[in-house]
Structure 1
Amino acid sequence: MAADVADTGVAAEELKQFIERIERLEEEKAGIAGDIKDVFAELKGRGFDAKAVRSILRIRKKDHAERQEEEAILELYMQALGMT
């Protein structure tokens, strides 16, 4: 495969386009990460707990059944350790 890229200008140009596309997306990703950081700074400035908000975001990504199962296991473990 690598020989194909070196042998043909068309394949090399296509590879270059892929690389440039990935680079643009990486730049966008960095910009979005900066925006998210700014939002977290703003919510902290308003008195919200960033760690709690991050936990809520993680929980909201899970479906209801997965969340219920995780909560049941956590409760069981906490009971076993005398934490409830």
Structure 2
Amino acid sequence: MADDASHADILNQTAQGQLKSIIERIERLEQEKSEIAEQIKEVFAEAKGNGFDVKILRKVIRIRKQDAAKRQEEDAILDLYLSALGVI
């Protein structure tokens, strides 16, 4: 326990307060992230219940996040590879 007290002396009062504040903020954000992840899960379950393919929905979301030029480049490379394999 004496070792813990000596470690606390390394940080001044201001730094200790900042550290505590940062840790508490991160903990709150982690909790919010968990709650949001649960809400997203519920929306996907609702979509599935309405007959939508969740795997495709995730793909659509991923595609919409991409830059249009990057997406076109990836599509062109995919087409090239599929063509080379005789798939298309």
For 2:49, the equivalent position in structure 1 comes to 45
1:6, distance to aligned residue in structure 2 (A): 2.6
Residue 9 of structure 1 deviates from its aligned partner by 1.5
Sequence identity of aligned pairs in percent?
A: 56
Report the number of matched residues.
Answer: 82
**2:26, 2:72 → 1: CA distance?**
38
Distance, in Å, in 1 between the alignment partners of 2:9 and 2:62 is 42
In the alignment, structure 2 segments of 5+ residues that lack a partner are 1-6
The letter of the residue matching 2:53 is D
Runs of 4+ with deviation above 3 angstroms:
none
Which runs of 5 or more structure 1 residues have no equivalent in the other structure?
none
Going from structure 1 to structure 2, the CA distance change for 1:70 and 1:7 (only over 3 Å counts) comes to closer
For normalisation by structure 1, the TM-score amounts to 0.91
Report the TM-score, using the length of structure 2 for normalisation: 0.87
